[in-house]
Structures are given as C-alpha cells and as structure tokens.
Structure 1
Amino acid sequence: MGGIGKTALAVEAAHRARARGWFPGGTLFVDLRGYDDDPVTADQAVLALLDALGVRDRDLPPTTERQYDAYRELLSERRDRMLLILDNACDPSQYLPLLPGTDHHRVLITSRDRPDALAVRQIDLEALAPDESVDLVTRALHDTDERDDRPALERDALRELTGLCGHLPLALQIAAGMLRRRRHRGIASLVAEIRDAGDPTSVLDRGSPGTDLYGRSLVLRPVLETSYRRLPPDEARLLRLLCLAPGAETGTEAITALAGLDTGAVLSLLEDLAARHFVMPVRGSNVTASSVPWRVHDVVRVFAVGVVAGDARLREEGEAARERVLDFYYRWADAADDRLRWLPGMQEPRRFEDRGQALAWLDGERAGLVAAVAWGREVRFAGTAVRLAQCLGEYLYSRRYFDDWIAVAEAAREATLLAGDRLGEAIAWDHLGVALREAGRAEEAIDAHTRARDLYQATGDHESEAMAWDNLGIALREAGRTEEAIDAHTRARDLCQEAEDRHHEAGAWHNLGNAQQDAGRTEEAIDAHTQARDLFQATGDRHREAKAWHSLGNGLQDAGRAEEAIEAYGESLEAYREFEDWYGEGRALHALALAYEAAHRPTEARAAHFQSADAYTRANAPTEASEARARAAELPE
C-alpha cells in the first residue's frame, strides 16, 4: 500500500547491491509517478533512460519505435550487469516496454498493485512489527541527536504512538520529524494530539516536514486519496463499508452482509482490493474461502471513515450496511447460542451441527461481535444490539472472556435504556453481575444482581427472578456473606419448584450446596449436590452435571470419604472434556490431584497437577497454570 516504504526499500537495496559490486554497469532509476494525476508513460521514460545512457540530442532516434530499439541494443551490448529501478508503477503498460529483453540485467519494480497476470517474482510489503516501529522512530531521533532520551523515558508513549501510526513507515517518519521539531516536548504530547483528533492523518500531515532526503513528499493523506480515487466504484464502495465494520478483522460472511451482495461477488471484489493492497486476508488453520477474515490497515480505516462522514449519501449507505451486519451477527450468534444451550429433547439447532462448530464460529467472530454490541449506544441499533448481547453470555462465560463480557453487558444495559426495554435491562444487569463476579469484583456483582432481581420482580418474571436470586447468592458467597447466600439460594430453589423448572432448580441446589459447604454444613451440602447431580442428569444437562459432580467431590473430600471423592472428580473430568471446557478440566484435575495427595498417592497427584497446568494454559488462566506446575514440582516423581 502507499506509504509502506517501497521506494525506500528499493533505494536501500540498490545502494547495498552496488556496494557489494553486484552491478558494475551501474544503476538506472525512473520514477514513473503512477499515482500522480499525470503518470509517466513508457515512451517518456525511455527518453530519460536513453539520456542516462548517454544518448541525447542529435544521437536520439527520431521515432519512438527506434528509441526502444536503441535502448534495448545498448543494454544487450553492455557486458557489465546493470540494475534498473522502475518506481511507482500503476500499470504494466508503464514498465513492460522498458524491460531489457535479456536476463543479463536485473529490474526492480515498485507498485501499489499486484500484476498477477505477469510471471514476475512478487514481494509483498506489510506494515512493520510493533518492535520494528519503535526501533525506526528511536533511530530516526538518535540520528539527529544521540542525546534525545525521550524514547527511553517514554517507552509506553512511543509504543502507543507507533500504534496510532498503524506501524506504517511513512506515518512513522512523519511522526519522527514532528518529534525532532518539538524536541522540548514529550512523545506523550503528540500521542494526546493524535488521540484527541481521532484521525492520525490530519495531525501528521499538518505537522509534516514536507519532504525527505530524496525530495519525496512526506504527506500521508494524499497518498491514500490518490489510491482511493483510482478504485472502480464497486471496489470503493466495498472498501468504505468494510472500514465501518466492527473489529479489526471481519469474516467473509459478515462482509457479504455489509455489502448486501452474494458471496462470489464479494470475494471477487476483496481479491481486487487485496491486489491493490487495501485489504489483506488473515490466513489460519481451518479457514475456507467463505470464512477467511479480512483486515484493513488502521490508517486506511480512519481515512475511509472520514470519507463517509463527509458525505450525507455515503453516511446513509454506511448506516444501512451496519444495520445489515448487525442483523447477520444476531442471527448467527442466536443460532450458536441455541447450540451451546441445547439439551436432549430440545429441537435441534439448524445452523451448527455440534457445539464445536458453534464455538469455532464464535471464536472467529468474537472481536466483531463484541464491537457490534457497542453500536447499541445509537438509537437505530439499540434493539438488535440488546438481543445480540443476550446471545453472547453463555459463550463469553464458557470461554472466560470476562473483560469482553463486562463491556458487552454494560453496552447492552445502555442500549436497553434507549430501546425502553426493562426486561432487557434486567438481563443486562444479571449478565453484568456474573461477569463482574468472575472478574473478582464481588461487591459490584452484588449490586448488579440486586438491580436485576428488582427489575424482574417489577416485570413479574418470576422464573428469571429465581435466576437473579441464584446469581446474587453466588456473589454473596464470593464476598464471604455465607448465610445471606444460603438464604438467596433457598429463595431461588423455592421459586424454581413453584414454577416446576427442574433445570434451574438443579442449579439452585448446586449453588446452595456450595454455600452450605462454606458454612461447614458438609452433610447438607452433600445432599444438595446429590440432588443437583440427579436433576442435571434427568434434564440431560451433561455440562452442568460436571459441575455438580465436582462440588459433590468437594463435599465427600471434606467428609473424609477420599475414594468416593476421587470417583466424583473423575466423573466431572470426563464430562468437562466432552465440552472442551478447559478451565473446568483444569479445576477437576487440580481437585483430583489434591485428593490423590490426601490418599498418599503422590505419583498420580503429580501427573494430575501437570495435566491441570496444561488445561489451565489452554483456558487462558496463566496464574492457575503456574500454581499447578509449582505444586507438581514439590511432589516426588
């Protein structure tokens, strides 16, 4: 893409090659200005090349055809190898006539477009890695003043600055030039200026030094504008819409919804945009053409969003596209949630064949789903965003993405106020409470669940009120308020029994047992967990049955019934593995290891601790994984 550093790389490569003696015949350089308003034609370029080769004035052939003949003849007669650099080509017609016609010499071409129809070796340049970006700016400052200590003193600000520049070399060079000029101000001041503006191009171009050592323009926005103006209308439209998508990466299906086109047409347009280096596919395992995610460079995204914001017609086009993609996300997230919550006897969900498929889709679209819920802060999208948020709770909980869940629940709560949805507000408060509790913020969770309970009572939804009581009890238990927790879980159980809701009754029994165990009422806890296990089995909820087995094992262990506890933990472990619940698997293995230790079986305990560490690692729980490895290391082999 423009500004990626193609010319700088080509010039640097030529200097190094010349220093090594690779091209004793010399180097020729032509700027074809392919993206200017008046690009250089091949016919114009050959005149410049002949001039560089010493053919001018009266020696210049009178016709274009003979000029090309003279040019190729000169190159074919040269025994010393030469390097020809054709810079900034926008179309093969600019450079094909200039190729030497012999493999004795070498040609290096730079372009923003991939000439896929030609059998030439292609080297795609992407943005720099974060560490490379930091090094580039640091060197640029130290080359001017080796005493400049800002990069060392403001490491975090420098890293944020390079991120705001999208790790684009042109933007980084402009930023370095601005920092050189404002040498008495910190890096953080430039970071704050760009962040406040919301558009790095406006700040960087305003403070650009103008040109570099080669006389090339150091201005970012015109580079983007010239590339954008050259796009055909359908490609320009898709680029604008893609830049409005939530998340840094967007799957092909979601882009199809954004564009309102069929998948084949969208893939064709994406491939064309990729050839022009506006977008890039994000390759990975288990990716098909219809599911591959696509990424737009951050600076391009900001530019395109600005284009849309400045035109009322494009704004409405963008809003309609956002509406389509939000509807798409809701439909498929709802289907995935149905699969995750599916129990035997329920109607089979149609979109996903099994739990693994649903999780894979949600994992791939997670960033976009979370960002899309935030659109609910706008009235037009509030209702759909609330429904989408409600579909993500089970997934975010099972994958333990609690920060994402907090963001989703808070955005949903704000959206319910815009939509006037009191029941949705209650659900959002309840989900927020669970996320806060799992993030270790028990007191905030108590407040959230209390609000949810009161709203459910006001709307007369007693079944949901029971769940709020149950969640409130868990938060109270986490806060050490055990007796209040027992009362809350008892209230939840009674409401479920009144409603003949056996499934949620099982959950209330399970949580009641945990609270009773904390209170030292071990036999009551064992009875409660047994009730929970039997009800989960009867309702076919194998996943929550795993949790009941685990808690039952805890009660049996406290009661000194070690072998029964080991058996219960084993049942729990088997069920967790069926659901790819890595955190649950880690917990079950940890409990099993402690039970083996209590039973004086150190070898089995050590193995279980190591397996627990592996499961915790997969579950993104590094602290628990480290603790499990440390515990294993203390035991004899």
Structure 2
Amino acid sequence: MSGDMRNVIHSHETDVAIQVGVLHGDIALSGSIRPVIPRQLPMEPRWLVAREREMSELTDLLADVWPAVVIEGIGGVGKTTLALHWACQNAVRYPDGQLFADLRGFDPLGAPADPGTVLHGFLLALGVAPATIPTGVDAAAALYRTVLAERRVLIVLDNARDAGQVLPLLPGTMSCAVLVTTRNRLSWLRTQGVVSVRLETMADADARTVLERVLENEVARIDLASVTAIVRRCSGLPLALTIAAARVAEHPDFPVSELVAELDEEATRLSAFDAGDGVRSLRAVLSWSSGSLDKELIRAFRLLGAAPVTDVGVSTAAWLWSVSPRDAANTMRALEVANLVRQHRPGRFHMHDLVRLHAAELAADAESRTALRRLVDCFAYTARVADNLLYPHRYAWPPPDLPDGCDPVQLADDPAAVTWFATEHPTLIALHEAARREQWHEAVWHIAHGLDTYQYRLGLLTENVGVARLGLEAAVTIGVARLRASALRQLGRAHTRANSLAEAETCLLEALRIEEDAGFAMGRAHTHHDLQRVYCRRGRYKEALYHSQIAMRLYRAENNPVGAAHSLNAQGWLHARLGDVALALDCCKRALALHTAHGNVSGQAITSDALGRIARDAGYLDEAALHSMVAVRLARQLGNRFAEADHTEQLAAVLIGKGEYASARRLLHAAHELFVAQHRLGDAERVLNQLRTCPEVRESDHSQE
C-alpha cells in the first residue's frame, strides 16, 4: 500500500464508534458541534381567560425586576396554563431556546423529579456532549450555568415540590428567565431573590366566560339558572369549570339540570367533577396536595374538614385540634405553605369550598366527630359568655362547661363580645345546624340562647327567628320545662321583632302557661313584659298596660331593678298612648334614672327614645330632639342597628316638625338604608313615603348645613 495513505473520519455525531478494516498511521478525528436551540415548550393553551393582570405582572417582573418568578396557588387554579401561555407568547424574547421540565412534585404515581436528572436532560438539549456531563448535581449545575452564561433562554419548571428541586436549575445570568409553578409556598426561593405571584380563583363573571369558551356554541342551550348554579358550585376554580363544561359537552342530549343536581349535593359534588378517564378528576388533583403532607399535617387537614366552615380562626383550629393557640397558628401556617389554606387577614384562614369538601371526605371517622363535638361545645360556651357581656342585666342561665384542653377566648367587655360575634357569626350558624343534625340538643339550645342579643342588635331578623326555632326544638327534646319556656319566649321576641305578631303572641302565652305551672317568677316577669310589647304593637294598649304592671311587680319582688325600669318605661309609653302625658313623662323619667344608676346603656337608649316620642307628640320639639339624639347616639355606641333605625326615623320626624328639612332628609335616607339592610321592608317603605312628602330644602335650613 502507498505510504501516504490516510484514514479520515468526518462526523457531526458525538460518542459514535466507527469500525474500519485495517488502520495504518495516526487517526485524526475532526468534527463540529452544531449550535442547538431547544424548543421544549408544550403546545400553547388554546386560550386564557381573565388572567390579563397576571400576564402583565409576569411581563413586568421578568423584564425589569428579576428573571425568576414562582407562580403559586391551589391545585386546579390554572398555574401551568398561565405559565405556558406567557412562555409561548414571549418565546421570541429568548432566541437561544426554551427549556421545559415537569418536576412532578405532586405526582401520585412516582417520586418527584431528581434535579440531577433534569440537569442532564437540559444539558443534552443545549448541545453538551453526554460524556462531558458531570455525574454530581453541583458540578452539573455549574456546567449548566456556564453553558447558559452567554445565552438568552427561557426555562419553565412546572409542578415543583420544594426549593431543593428548583435551586440547581436556576441559571446564573440575568439574560435568562425562569418560570416555576408550584402548589407550595417556596419561601426559601424568596430569600434568593425569586419573586412570587399567587394565582387566585376566578370571579363569577370570568368563570362564566370559561364555561362559554369551553362549550362554545353549546352554551346557548343551557339556561341562565343552570349556568349560574355551575359557576357557583365551581367556586372560581378553572379545573372544576372545565371538567363541568366537558361533562355537559360530552352528553349534549342530557339535561344540564342533572349535573346541577349533582353539584348542589355536597355528598356528590366532588364526584361530579370527574371527566371519566381517571386522570381529569378534581378529587385526584386535590388528593395530590393532601397526599404530600406529613402525618401530623394530614391529621390537621382532615380534622379541618370536620368543621362545616371555610373561614377558620386560630382559636377555632386550636379547639378543633385540642392544642394551644400557638401550636394551632404554627400548624395553620404550615398548611398555608401547602396552599391548602389562605391567611386573608391576621389569624384568619380561608379554605376553598372544594378543598374543604375534599378534607371533609377524609374526615369521615370517629376522631373527626369527636373534634366537631369539641368545637361545637367551645363555641356554645363562648357564645353564652359573650351574650352575657352584651346584656348582663338579666337572669343568666349557666353556660355549658368548656371542654378539657380548650383555652377560652378572653372577652373583656361589650365591644370585645360584639367583635367576636361579628367575626364568628357565620361559624356559629353553621355549627348550630351541625349540632342539630348530630342531635346534640344541649349545645343547640345554648347556641340559640347565646345568639339572641347579637342578632337583635344587628337586625338579623330572619336568622333570629330561625335560630330561635332550633332552640325551641332542642328544648322540647330535652324535656326541661324552664328551658322550653325560655326558648318559647326567645322565639316570641324574635317574631315580635320580625312583626309576626300573631305567632309571637302564641309563643309567649304558651311560655307564660309553663312558667305559671312551674312557679318561675322571673320567667313570668320576662314573658309579661314581652307580651306588653306585642299588644302595644297591635294597638291593644290597655292589655299591654296590664301585662306591664304585672311584670313590674314581679321584677320588684325578684329584686330586679333593671327589669322594673323596662316595665316603667313601657308603662310611660302606654300612658301616653292612652292620653295621660304627665304620667307618661313621669314613668319614663323614673325609668331613665334607674337604667342610668345601673349602667344599662340599652335601657337608656330605649327610654330616651320613648321620652323623645312623648315630647314630640306633646309639642315639646326642642326637648324631643335632645332625647332622640341621645337615643341615636347610644344605639350607635352599642352597635344596635335595629334600635338605631327606629331612633333615627324618630329623630327625623322631630326635625321635620322643627322645619329642619335638610337634616331630616339625611336622617330619613340613613334610616331607610338601615331598614333595607335588615329586610324590614314595610318600615323602609314607610320612610320612603316620608321622604316623598318632606320638602327638599327651606330657607331656614341653611343655618343647619
């Protein structure tokens, strides 16, 4: 053979072995690595609804603030859709390629992706020879940063479990950008400068748009009521909306009302969000989050499902779990890290409706029922304590015992009690109904009793009647005569406030019969006083005066000066209705002195209002205005919206009599708003009629402006 014979191999491939027959001389390999531009983004989502603000925020952050952003939120809220939509829309800004990895942080079928494995795949995609990729994560991450140092690449890391998965995959250059999606709060990444964007559920209007987009032309066949029901039950969760829409679209001949019925029933709601393929199931998606919790946290999450509420305070969680408030706060924050709850204000955590249903399904065990009973008893105790602070001047039934291991909420005074009731009223209503279902009759009665004063003050008349009815049912089942009489009296008062006077009279007469048979003098005094109010409203003033006089005698015999003051005030008003103004004023002034001496602010307000009305009818308008202004001020001080509405209307009437029309009209508008808010529509209409007849402005009004 010729001595200058050469073997030359040209290849664009790496790690390729080529076998030839016989080699003579040296082997020279020459090759080149072609530039590799990865395009790994999955297909762009077909559309994105109502995320314009978040899209704009991502653009601003990635362009001007820091090239790494975490999108966090509960399962099914649309994090991946948002990330891919932004990435595909902005891919042109990253000419050196786009990398994508599903980190499988919450995959129920396997372990989360190993960062080293992901790095190996990214480096291969960027054109690095396999033989040159280090096996250690740190070394591979260093090479990864080196390769990216002169490039503009977008990296999307979907479904991250923790910061440990993400940190090795962050580039070391500002020229690249990273989008991370996760169900957890990756707080450690924030310490590294990574910015977080929380994705919330959708408003109802946007949820409707999602349904319309998915169903396209088919939405026309769905009635508005069904669309509204589906939107309401999906609670703004995009995954739930798309599954519900898919079910409608798959069976166009089925009535949509069938799906609505499934969604309306708590027991079948989560099952309704199942597309039928075993993957697109809301229950499965939610379980991926709960399944990632450790033993203590899954127990806490499961017991949260036992509580029939979505808004939970630290004290509620502490009672439910039978731990200290400090431990409860720490556990709630850990659940917040997993995005299973959301702290919407200090110490208050919200759980999405569908997440709560998932937790409730996990809570079907004896421990959960015990936890619910403990929670009901703690709320029953606290409601009774708070109610006694709102009105300490009456006979107080002993509150139930506080369960062992539960720290009481410290309520110092009337304002603290009002604040607690305002915060926990929805929880109390839900627990009241839960206790009724479980037939915990003593707790039902205590909660009903405890809610009465607060609901009266706020003008929650429908709720007041409903709660009182449940209290009466419980008292009848318990079988104690005095409890039954008390419950009948409470229901009679609620009916009186709601202007259902026939029902009120029936309840109170039955209560009086029981109390006379049992010899309960204080109960008889209360019931006679409540009956006078009913008869007064019905215009039967002599009967009302009779009952008021009996009530006062009984109160005095029982050494109850505040009760006697209430009766005196009632008698004053009744004497005025019967034409004896002098006696009326005398009774009311003595009543006001008694209420003032015993610190009964609500009694002072009611009596001041009565004095104002009597003085107005007698033509003493200046005196009437002073009394009525005191009544309005004291009602506002107590937060008693029910009384404030009445007193405000009365003050307006006095000012009309004085010719101060501009001020009177402002008060009438305020009274109308209060009446409407309390659903006292007859009273609201009466005020509107007064506004129609009240002059707009008179010359003398200018001095009042």
The bucket for the TM-score relative to the shorter chain is 0.7 to 0.9
CA distance in 2, matches of 1:633, 1:272: 61
Label 1:504 to 1:96 Cα distance change in 2 as closer, same or farther (>3 A): same
Q: Is the 8 A contact 2:266 2:357 kept in 1?
A: no
Give the deviation of 1:399 after TM superposition: 1.8
Give the deviation of 1:9 after TM superposition: 1.1
Label 1:320 to 1:412 Cα distance change in 2 as closer, same or farther (>3 A): same
One-letter amino acid of the counterpart of residue 537, structure 1: T
Label 1:479 to 1:243 Cα distance change in 2 as closer, same or farther (>3 A): farther
One-letter amino acid of the counterpart of residue 450, structure 2: C
Aligned to 2:195: 121
CA distance in 2, matches of 1:197, 1:360: 31
1:465-614 pair list within 5 angstroms: 465-479=524-538, 481-515=540-574, 517=576, 525-606=584-665, 608-609=667-668
Counterpart of 1:44 (choices 99, 117, 122) is 117
CA distance in 1, matches of 2:82, 2:514: 63
* Alignment gaps of 5+ in structure 1: 212-216, 310-314
One-letter amino acid of the counterpart of residue 164, structure 1: R
Q: More displaced, 409-418 or 172-181?
A: 409-418
Query: Does 2:366 correspond to 1:316?
Result: yes
Query: Does 2:361 correspond to 1:306?
Result: yes
One-letter amino acid of the counterpart of residue 171, structure 1: A
CA distance in 2, matches of 1:525, 1:139: 70
1:159-238 pair list within 5 angstroms: 159-196=228-265, 198-205=267-274, 208=275, 210=277, 217-238=279-300
Aligned to 1:334: 384
Counterpart of 1:17 (choices 86, 90, 110) is 90
CA distance in 2, matches of 1:446, 1:22: 77
Label 1:400 to 1:606 Cα distance change in 2 as closer, same or farther (>3 A): closer
Give the deviation of 1:603 after TM superposition: 5.0
One-letter amino acid of the counterpart of residue 180, structure 2: I
Question: In the TM superposition, what whole-angstrom CA distance separates every residue of 1:602-627 from its partner, at most 9, and x where no partner exists?
Answer: 45545655665787799898985984
Aligned to 1:88: 159
CA distance in 2, matches of 1:481, 1:24: 88
Q: Is the 8 A contact 1:586 1:615 kept in 2?
A: yes
Counterpart of 2:334 (choices 257, 272, 276) is 272
Q: What SS is found at the alignment partner of 1:87?
A: strand
Q: More displaced, 481-490 or 615-624?
A: 615-624
CA distance in 1, matches of 2:238, 2:272: 16
Q: Is the 8 A contact 1:246 1:369 kept in 2?
A: no
Give the deviation of 1:263 after TM superposition: 2.0
Q: Is the 8 A contact 1:377 1:418 kept in 2?
A: no
Query: Does 2:192 correspond to 1:137?
Result: no
The two structures, once aligned, show a CA RMSD in angstroms of 3.3
Aligned to 1:361: 420
CA distance in 2, matches of 1:437, 1:404: 14
Q: Is the 8 A contact 1:376 1:386 kept in 2?
A: no
Q: Is the 8 A contact 1:582 1:618 kept in 2?
A: no
Q: Is the 8 A contact 1:453 1:465 kept in 2?
A: yes
One-letter amino acid of the counterpart of residue 99, structure 1: L
Give the deviation of 1:599 after TM superposition: 2.5
Give the deviation of 1:550 after TM superposition: 0.8
Q: How many residues get paired? A: 605
Label 1:459 to 1:250 Cα distance change in 2 as closer, same or farther (>3 A): farther
Q: More displaced, 68-77 or 158-167?
A: 68-77
CA distance in 2, matches of 1:121, 1:513: 69
Label 1:149 to 1:445 Cα distance change in 2 as closer, same or farther (>3 A): farther
Q: Is the 8 A contact 1:374 1:412 kept in 2?
A: no
Q: Is the 8 A contact 1:177 1:209 kept in 2?
A: no
Q: What SS is found at the alignment partner of 1:318?
A: helix
Counterpart of 1:389 (choices 448, 459, 469) is 448
Bigger proportion of residues as helix = 1
Give the deviation of 1:165 after TM superposition: 2.1
Give the deviation of 1:85 after TM superposition: 0.8
One-letter amino acid of the counterpart of residue 243, structure 1: G
Label 1:106 to 1:630 Cα distance change in 2 as closer, same or farther (>3 A): farther
CA distance in 1, matches of 2:393, 2:164: 63
Counterpart of 1:296 (choices 346, 351, 356) is 351
One-letter amino acid of the counterpart of residue 389, structure 2: R
1:371-450 pair list within 5 angstroms: 371-377=430-436, 381-450=440-509
Q: Is the 8 A contact 2:387 2:451 kept in 1?
A: yes
Q: Is the 8 A contact 1:376 1:383 kept in 2?
A: no
One-letter amino acid of the counterpart of residue 235, structure 1: L
Give the deviation of 1:567 after TM superposition: 2.9
Q: TM-score, normalised by structure 1?
A: 0.85
Question: In the TM superposition, what whole-angstrom CA distance separates every residue of 1:32-74 from its partner, at most 9, and x where no partner exists?
Answer: 2221131322223234334544557x77747466765554443
CA distance in 1, matches of 2:258, 2:541: 50
Q: What SS is found at the alignment partner of 2:155?
A: strand
Give the deviation of 1:7 after TM superposition: 0.8
Q: Is the 8 A contact 2:457 2:641 kept in 1?
A: no
Q: Is the 8 A contact 2:393 2:562 kept in 1?
A: no
Q: What SS is found at the alignment partner of 1:148?
A: helix
CA distance in 2, matches of 1:630, 1:280: 48
CA distance in 1, matches of 2:324, 2:100: 44
Q: Is the 8 A contact 1:243 1:296 kept in 2?
A: no
Q: What SS is found at the alignment partner of 1:369?
A: helix
Q: What SS is found at the alignment partner of 2:440?
A: helix
Question: In the TM superposition, what whole-angstrom CA distance separates every residue of 1:265-317 from its partner, at most 9, and x where no partner exists?
Answer: 2111111110000111121xxx5xxxx221211112111211121xxxxx221
One-letter amino acid of the counterpart of residue 270, structure 1: M
CA distance in 2, matches of 1:593, 1:389: 35
Label 1:60 to 1:166 Cα distance change in 2 as closer, same or farther (>3 A): farther
Give the deviation of 1:440 after TM superposition: 3.3
Label 1:91 to 1:160 Cα distance change in 2 as closer, same or farther (>3 A): same
Aligned to 1:281: 343
Give the deviation of 1:173 after TM superposition: 0.8
Q: More displaced, 417-426 or 539-548?
A: 417-426
Give the deviation of 1:629 after TM superposition: 7.2
Label 1:417 to 1:233 Cα distance change in 2 as closer, same or farther (>3 A): farther
Q: TM-score, normalised by structure 2?
A: 0.78
Counterpart of 1:3 (choices 58, 62, 76) is 76
CA distance in 1, matches of 2:308, 2:283: 23
**Identical pairs, percent:** 27
Give the deviation of 1:86 after TM superposition: 0.8
Aligned to 1:248: 310
* Alignment gaps of 5+ in structure 2: 1-73, 397-407
Q: What SS is found at the alignment partner of 1:122?
A: strand
